[in-house]
With several copies, the nearest count.
Chain A
Amino acid sequence: MKNEYIPQLSEIKEVIKHTDLEYTFRMAFDGEVKPGQFFEISIPKYGEAPISVSGIGDGLVDFTIRRVGKVTDEVFENYVGDKLFIRGPYGNGFDINNYKGKEIVIIGGGTGVSPMRGVIQHFSKNPTDAVSTTVIAGFKSPDDVLFKKDFEEWSKTINVIKTVDNAPEGYDGPTGMVTKYIPDLKFQDIKNAVFICVGPPIMIKFTIMEIQKLGVADEQIWTSYERKMCCGLGKCGHCKMDDKYVCLDGPVFNYTEAKELFD
């Protein structure tokens, strides 16, 4: 019988620094992974934390990690060539098929962009898979922007609005909350739109309120939840919301389900 709790060693192939606090670790991994899935990444002596997959490559998987809490602090002391214990992938992840042929709007806040990165990447590489693809990404300040190179790359093929809440004088990019940009979105057929929205709970709440004002049905909205997940296996209970286990049934939920999930 398989002991799902036992992690495997995985080598750090590359470390990409985004900000002073946020890095992407490119790790060795062989196996099927979907964007939006997560791994339990652990360092013996410190513990485990569920980290979303922020990129998928050949024999590689990216984890974009914010340096908070004691677990993730330790991770930053590992460098290329070192190894980490990981287990996963867990969770459902995003199903690209749900968005193909649609007018896609992807809205992310901070590290909330990570789980969607695989989705964005797919449609920026294959822009014709969708009617249109728009990414609205919000960060606190220019210094907090993640995936800077990605944004440059993505903006070549899809619409990208990268906004910051607070900008220093002279900053010439978009500023303000992501919600500010929603009313101005243009759709050919709003009924054929899909929205993916990931970020801090408060951001999700207001973003969905804004989206709904456009006359969008719940079925057209998707989100992904970040919750405490100790086991990733539907046992430890921490991630349960209503009858759903985020680790098993999520973390990606269509809003028809998500709206009934109370904390």
Chain B
Amino acid sequence: MGYKFSKEEMASIFSKLAVDYDVFAPVVKKGDGTFSDVDVVRYDKVSSLDEIEFEKKSDYSFKEALLPINETIFYFTEDETTVPKGPAKERLVFLRACDLNAVKRLDQIYLKNGFEDFYYKRTREMTKFVLIGCKESCASGFCASMGTNTTDEYDLYLKLDGDNAYVEAKDEKLTEIFKAGKEETVSPDFVSENLIKVTLPKNITPETMKSELFKEYGNRCINCGRCNFVCPTCTCFTMQDIFYKDNERNGERRRVWASCQVDGYTEIAGGHGFRGDNADRMRFKVMHKIHDFEKRFGYHMCVGCGRCDDVCPEYISYSNLVNRLGKECE
């Protein structure tokens, strides 16, 4: 059901909402970009509507709202282990269609690939998603190519338009809150086409794995891992055991985001690593996104948000690599 509000009304409702919920949304972090006097848009907890960046696609995805960069698995005190508490409040996560499609991928790994993940699950179950529409395509995304340009998995759709705000609430509890507004038909803005079009390779063979393209791009790669860290579908982590400097018998185990492009990712005790070569890492990443995830789960991992292209300091275009690979495989 859709409702219309004035922007002021919406701001006021939102402020109340932000008391009951932990609201995670893209925020412009002034000067926090890689370079001096450059901003970054990333997720943070917000308490008012005007903190939210609705226009620019976030540089880092929503995923940290579900999967903290650092997450404590348990504390240990001598021989005992204690699991930290889960979220105290339900949470709202503002995101776009591509990202909401990415939630499905996170669920796939964390809930449906072997064991269920205790930590993800308890947060996920308390999370509702608020869709931000896309009136026009961003410059680097190719969601239409990946079929992730639309979604109906949102609990709320919220749109600001001039002095007005529109919502469509699907979640019952949220509907309660917004039904005070003027009823109006509201349907999300989705793009149907992007500037970037990606055609996935059709016939991937063992030969594909040896494509010179991986070498070419691998040589350009500096193994910084940004492509993974901004990606809404990358889920890897590493375990870290910390001992407290004040009492070395106590500490905690954490899981921390990991990147398949960064040194050490495949390294086992004794120092042997399995993908020392950048070409192999590049292949591994790309193939995961457009080939083997699909092989295992039946649909592609990549949601075409384009963040990896935007963030790469070496201007490696994953989308271009995929298109070139597609042509090679024809």
**Which residues of A does B touch, CB under 8 Å?**
1-7, 9, 42, 44-49, 66, 68-69, 71-72, 83, 85, 200-201, 226-228, 230-231, 233-238, 240, 242-245, 247-248, 260, 262-263
Closest B residue to A234 by CB, please name it: B114
> Do A42 and B241 touch (CB < 8 A)?
yes
Closest A residue to B242 by CB, please name it: A45
13 interchain pairs (CB within 8 A)? A1-B116, A3-B118, A7-B81, A9-B79, A45-B251, A69-B268, A200-B272, A231-B239, A231-B255, A234-B114, A235-B109, A236-B236, A237-B109
In the A-B complex, list the 8 residue pairs whose CB atoms are closest, starting with the nearest: A69-B269, A234-B114, A237-B236, A68-B270, A243-B296, A3-B118, A45-B243, A243-B292
**List of B residues within 8 angstroms of A260 by Cβ:** 206
> Do B115 and A233 touch (CB < 8 A)?
yes
CA distance A83 to B79 in the complex (A): 9
CA distance A66 to B237 in the complex (A): 25
> Do B81 and A6 touch (CB < 8 A)?
yes
Q: With an 8 A cutoff between CB atoms, is B283 at the interface?
A: yes
| Distance from B206 Cβ to chain A, minimum over Cβ atoms (Å) | 7
Q: Is the interface of B mostly helix, strand, loop or mixed?
A: mixed
Q: With an 8 A cutoff between CB atoms, is B235 at the interface?
A: yes
> Do A4 and B118 touch (CB < 8 A)?
yes
Q: With an 8 A cutoff between CB atoms, is B121 at the interface?
A: yes
Selected from A9, A228, A243, A248, the residue in CB contact (under 8 A) with B295 is A243
Closest A residue to B252 by CB, please name it: A44
CA distance A243 to B289 in the complex (A): 11
> Do B241 and A47 touch (CB < 8 A)?
yes
CA distance A83 to B266 in the complex (A): 29
| Distance from A226 Cβ to chain B, minimum over Cβ atoms (Å) | 7
* Known A237-B260, A262-B209, A263-B274: A242·B241 in contact at CB below 8 Å: no
> Do A228 and B265 touch (CB < 8 A)?
yes
Q: With an 8 A cutoff between CB atoms, is B14 at the interface?
A: no
> Do B239 and A234 touch (CB < 8 A)?
no
Q: Mark B98-120, 1 if CB is under 8 A from A, else 0.
A: 00000000000110011111110
> Do B235 and A235 touch (CB < 8 A)?
yes
**List of A residues within 8 angstroms of B235 by Cβ:** 235, 237
**List of A residues within 8 angstroms of B237 by Cβ:** 230-231, 235-237
Selected from B121, B240, B251, B258, the residue in CB contact (under 8 A) with A237 is B258
CA distance A47 to B73 in the complex (A): 12
> Do B238 and A3 touch (CB < 8 A)?
no
Closest A residue to B275 by CB, please name it: A263
| Distance from B38 Cβ to chain A, minimum over Cβ atoms (Å) | 30
> Do B76 and A44 touch (CB < 8 A)?
yes
> Do B268 and A1 touch (CB < 8 A)?
no
CA distance A3 to B71 in the complex (A): 14
Q: With an 8 A cutoff between CB atoms, is B280 at the interface?
A: yes
Q: With an 8 A cutoff between CB atoms, is B287 at the interface?
A: yes
* Known A3-B83, A227-B268: A242·B295 in contact at CB below 8 Å: yes
| Distance from A82 Cβ to chain B, minimum over Cβ atoms (Å) | 11
Could you tell me which residues of chain B, from 227 to 259, have a CB within 8 Å of some CB in chain A? 235-243, 248-249, 251, 253, 255, 258
Q: With an 8 A cutoff between CB atoms, is B288 at the interface?
A: yes
> Do B266 and A228 touch (CB < 8 A)?
yes
**List of A residues within 8 angstroms of B243 by Cβ:** 44-45
> Do A263 and B76 touch (CB < 8 A)?
no
**List of A residues within 8 angstroms of B76 by Cβ:** 44
Closest B residue to A242 by CB, please name it: B292
> Do B293 and A236 touch (CB < 8 A)?
no
> Do B117 and A233 touch (CB < 8 A)?
yes
| Distance from B250 Cβ to chain A, minimum over Cβ atoms (Å) | 8
* Known A1-B121, A245-B114, A248-B113: A49·B269 in contact at CB below 8 Å: yes
Q: Mark B186-203, 1 if CB is under 8 A from A, else 0.
A: 000000000000000000
> Do A235 and B110 touch (CB < 8 A)?
yes
Selected from A6, A45, A233, A244, the residue in CB contact (under 8 A) with B241 is A45
Selected from A45, A231, A245, the residue in CB contact (under 8 A) with B248 is A45
**List of A residues within 8 angstroms of B280 by Cβ:** 262-263
> Do B239 and A230 touch (CB < 8 A)?
yes
| Distance from B209 Cβ to chain A, minimum over Cβ atoms (Å) | 5
> Do B118 and A5 touch (CB < 8 A)?
yes
| Distance from A38 Cβ to chain B, minimum over Cβ atoms (Å) | 12
> Do B255 and A245 touch (CB < 8 A)?
no
**List of B residues within 8 angstroms of A47 by Cβ:** 239-241, 253
CA distance A47 to B251 in the complex (A): 11
CA distance A236 to B271 in the complex (A): 19
CA distance A235 to B110 in the complex (A): 6
**List of B residues within 8 angstroms of A9 by Cβ:** 79
| Distance from A124 Cβ to chain B, minimum over Cβ atoms (Å) | 29
Could you tell me which residues of chain B, from 61 to 89, have a CB within 8 Å of some CB in chain A? 73-74, 76, 79, 81, 83
Q: With an 8 A cutoff between CB atoms, is B267 at the interface?
A: yes
